[in-house]
Amino acid sequence: MSKPAWQNSLIMRAARREPVERTPVWLMRQAGRYQADYRRLREKTSFLELCKTPDLAAEVMLSTVERLGVDAAIIFSDLLLILEPMGLSLDFAADEGPRLGNPIREPADVDRLLELESIESLEFVIETVRKTRAGLDPALPLIGFAGAPFTLAAYSIEGGASRDYRIAKKLMLSDAGAWDAMMARLARAVTLYLNAQIDAGAQLAQIFDSWAGCLGPDDYRRHVLPHTRSVIEGLRPGVPAIHFAVGNPALLPLLSEAFSQSDRPAIVGVDWRVRLDDAWTAIGPNRAIQGNLDPVVLLTDPPTIRRRAKEILDQAAGRSGHIFNLGHGILPQTPPENVVALVEAVHELNSKVRTRRKID
């Protein structure tokens, strides 16, 4: 039986740290508010309605992939959707971001967080995976994703965005039993959720720990690492996982350590606060790496974008296992033509680098 075309795609080979003819590129938030078509759609449809309408969610991503020429799609969804069937109310206020109406504030409140027994209540996400996979070029992989247990816990406790994460960190530090019970419940839910996405047609799984950067290494190791590791260990065998956290390069060795008891292809996502070559040294040579252009660079001009992309490719130095990406998501103010310019620059520049290396 022949292997599916995506199995030999640039991103899957890079995830396995195999040689590739050029560095693959995809971008976090590659479909979103910077696009005029997306803004027009949002004038008629709320963000939650869009996420819960598989036909629209799939089309948003499929049209983006075709327009940008990236090497992978990621499902169009939101990492907080999983919290609704776990008993928390979710809403997205205009220009204010997500709000959870009944946050968990005290240790006793942890019992209000329901066990996710099945993904039936999230079937709209699974159908989005199926429809996106069906409409995607067979040679391109599809990335599923979920929020990491810490980020989901922090949102659940803070009730929305936070500057200092003081409520979440206070619960974490004052009642380890309640904290671990909450994190374990979230880890089981995330594992179930990601495996359902994989079963529906996703080839890779990205775990977003958007708020983990607020922690120091000791607290991360003690209160977070065991739960993230349990998610990674529980994923379908052989499926590559991308572990991405924002804001604290000191955590990179621990992000890598989360893979230590798994033999799956391991990719550590890196933000822009550290050079890519220094990050690779921190995570170790036996891990693939994803990153790490500062999204603000896309607000400049094509020559600057090209120069900054080349700097990152030079830091990767043609080593196997690099997936080019931003250090976080595309900003809403980004000119769409600059995103195309970045993808084209990465495709052109690293092909030239690899050709030159072969000649040398």
Q: For the domain 5-296+320-333, what is the CATH code?
A: 3.20.20.210
Rounded to 5°, the CA angle 296-302-307 comes to 80
Q: Is the pLDDT of residue 119 over 50?
A: yes
> Helix, strand or coil for residue 208?
strand
Q: Assign 351 a pLDDT band (cuts: 50, 70, 90).
A: low
Per-residue pLDDT of 32-86, as tens digits, reads 999 999 999 999 999 999 999 999 999 999 999 999 999 999 999 999 999 999 9
Q: What are the backbone dihedrals phi and psi of residue 315, each rounded to the nearest 5 degrees, phi first?
A: -65, -35
Q: Angle between the 149-158 and 176-200 helix axes, to the nearest 10 degrees?
A: 120
- Is the pLDDT assigned to residue 357 strictly greater than 70? no
- Rounded to the nearest 5°, which phi and psi values hold at 209? -110, 70
Structure tokens at 65: 């992939």
Active site residues: 29, 33, 42, 78, 155
Element containing residue 314 per DSSP (H, E): helix 302-316
pTM, 2 dp: 0.95
Per-residue tokens: 340: 């195309």
**H helix intervals, 136-235:** 149-158, 166-174, 176-200, 217-223, 225-234
DSSP result, 97-156:
EEEESS---SGGGGGGS-----SGGGHHHHHHHHHHHHHS-TTS-EEEEEE-HHHHHHHH
Residue 356 binned pLDDT confidence (cut-offs 50, 70, 90): very low
Q: pLDDT tens digits, residue range 142-182? A: 999 999 999 999 999 999 989 999 999 999 999 999 999 99
Q: Where are the domains of the chain?
A: 5-296+320-333
How far is the CA of 122 from the CAs of 85, 132, 159, 248, in angstroms? 8, 16, 21, 32
Judged by DSSP in three states, 320 sits in coil
| Rounded mean pLDDT, 236-263 | 96
